[in-house]
Structure 1
Amino acid sequence: MEGGQPAERYGDEDQQPKEKTGLDRVLCKKKPEVLIIFVLGGPGSGKGTQCEKIVKEYRFVHLSLGDLLRNEVSSESDIGKQVKTCMAEGKLVQVEIALELLKNAMDKSKNKRFLIDGFPRNVDQAEAFEDKICKPSMVLYLECSSDIMEKRLMERGATSGRIDDNIETIKKRFKTFEKETIPVIKYYENSGNSVLVKISSENDIDVVYGEVEKALKNLLFV
């Protein structure tokens, strides 16, 4: 397998299909050339950090819904103003907005491997993405206690300048995560497709990445 592309392309009637590789088996059905991994976890669970390492080693494109939303806020567009209000209140944005931002970012990329960080944040978003775009090849869930996540976020907030890195908003985000995103984990856990991978992100960054890499290798090469 070279350059992240599947070993075989099918479609010619006179072409005999060869044995499928691990990558062939997990590609999206609606967009057969695309591989998507959702990276989920609470605020401060280390999603961005782990995504950076995956991108470096495996040439994925990292799409952070949070970053896309913050960029939209910075643009001061009408949508950006709606997003800013939602973020300040610790609420989720409308699913249509999230899907549009993600789809536009994917369409602009020439890469076909995507890490989508912080999405889906509720079951409605998960179902909408699967309906409008495709099913994920893997759902990576980084488990972390609220105490550790709060400590990390407060340390980050001291220097980040992010509007959602203050104690009041952090607690609202935790409540939203418990109410909206935990059901997403259960949704994929009960899907019967074996796409959900749970990894504790409370350990050292490199220790966590070691477990993440094992899951990636199982997805891509087994």
Structure 2
Amino acid sequence: MGTADAASKDVTVRLAERKPIVVFVLGGPGSGKGTQCANIVQHFGYTHLSAGDLLRAECNSGSENGTMIQNMMNEGKIVPSEVTIELLQKAMLESGNNKFLIDGFPRNEENRAAFEAVTKIEPEFVLFFNCPQEEMERRILNRNQGREDDNIETIRKRFKVFEESSLPVIEYYKARGKVREIDAAKSIEEVFDALKVIFTTTVGKVVTT
């Protein structure tokens, strides 16, 4: 166990030395985060990291860690923050980039506190895709991804989880002047126009302690 802890500490130190720019991307299901993250990657050279994708990839890898994550998910348990943070740190180091969009994380206050405590990194800012529930429902039901979880009851449960868990994170960063709120109900073009303003005027100008 000591070796794993030492390796984890080494990753943390190496990452902190690079002083990466981290932007948290939060918003309810169907708020358009994925579409806009792809635009930001293309135009501003960020690396897009989805916490959910990293966890799924680890599960599919067949590693011991992946099996543990899969078992927890099957039992409906929440994967410990440290596990997700370790995957994020590893992906950040391996990317070779220094600018990151972290999508769908932190999901709750415990995630947030653990991320800052473990990585010693504070986000440059938090992008909050604010979208009315009716609009998010409409989008999810209209998209043809064949996702079995895209039924109205499941969607509403996901909205509820987002509101209860993620809004406190947004409030925390709002109090620190770090939230950039987007009217995500607008068209894809209008939303990206607003994002372009944020990324050309904010990055590198937020004072971090």
TM-score range, shorter chain: 0.7 to 0.9
Q: What amino acid is aligned across from residue 169 of structure 2 in structure 1?
A: V
User: Which residue of 2 is the match for residue 62 of structure 1?
Assistant: 48
Q: Does 2:82 match 1:99?
A: no
Gaps of 5+ in 1: 1-28
When residues 80 and 162 of structure 1 are mapped into structure 2, their CA distance, relative to the original with a 3 A threshold, is farther
Please identify the structure whose Cα radius of gyration is greater.
1
Question: How far apart, CA to CA, are the structure 2 residues paired with 1:155 and 1:35?
Answer: 35
Q: In the TM superposition, what whole-angstrom CA distance separates every residue of 1:17-48 from its partner, at most 9, and x where no partner exists?
A: xxxxxxxxxxxx94453111111101111111
Q: In the TM superposition, what whole-angstrom CA distance separates every residue of 1:149-205 from its partner, at most 9, and x where no partner exists?
A: 11212223xx324454333322221111011001111111113xx221111100100
Question: How far apart, CA to CA, are the structure 2 residues paired with 1:74 and 1:175?
Answer: 28
Contact 2:182/2:191, CA 8 A, preserved across alignment: yes
Q: Does 2:74 match 1:85?
A: yes
Contact 2:69/2:79, CA 8 A, preserved across alignment: no
- Decide which moves more: 40-49 or 74-83: 74-83
When residues 54 and 69 of structure 1 are mapped into structure 2, their CA distance, relative to the original with a 3 A threshold, is same
- Please point out which of 180, 198, 213 is paired with 2:181: 198
Aligned length, in residue pairs: 187
Contact 1:63/1:117, CA 8 A, preserved across alignment: yes
User: Which residue of 1 is the match for residue 170 of structure 2?
Assistant: 185
Name whichever structure is richer in helix by fraction. Answer: 2
Question: How far apart, CA to CA, are the structure 2 residues paired with 1:128 and 1:218?
Answer: 29
Contact 2:124/2:178, CA 8 A, preserved across alignment: yes
TM-score (norm 1): 0.76
When residues 37 and 151 of structure 1 are mapped into structure 2, their CA distance, relative to the original with a 3 A threshold, is same
Question: How far apart, CA to CA, are the structure 1 residues paired with 2:24 and 2:99?
Answer: 11
Question: How far apart, CA to CA, are the structure 1 residues paired with 2:78 and 2:29?
Answer: 13
**What is the root-mean-square deviation of aligned Cα atoms in Å?**
2.2
- Percent identity, aligned pairs only, is 42
Mapping 1:1-222, distance limit 5 Å: 30-75=16-61, 77-82=66-71, 84-85=73-74, 92-133=78-119, 134-156=121-143, 159-191=144-176, 194-220=177-203
SS at match of 1:102: helix
TM-score (norm 2): 0.81
Question: How far apart, CA to CA, are the structure 2 residues paired with 1:204 and 1:78?
Answer: 40
Gaps of 5+ in 2: 1-14
SS at match of 1:153: helix
Q: In the TM superposition, what whole-angstrom CA distance separates every residue of 1:69-96 from its partner, at most 9, and x where no partner exists?
A: 232343453134235437xx6x753212
Contact 2:124/2:203, CA 8 A, preserved across alignment: no
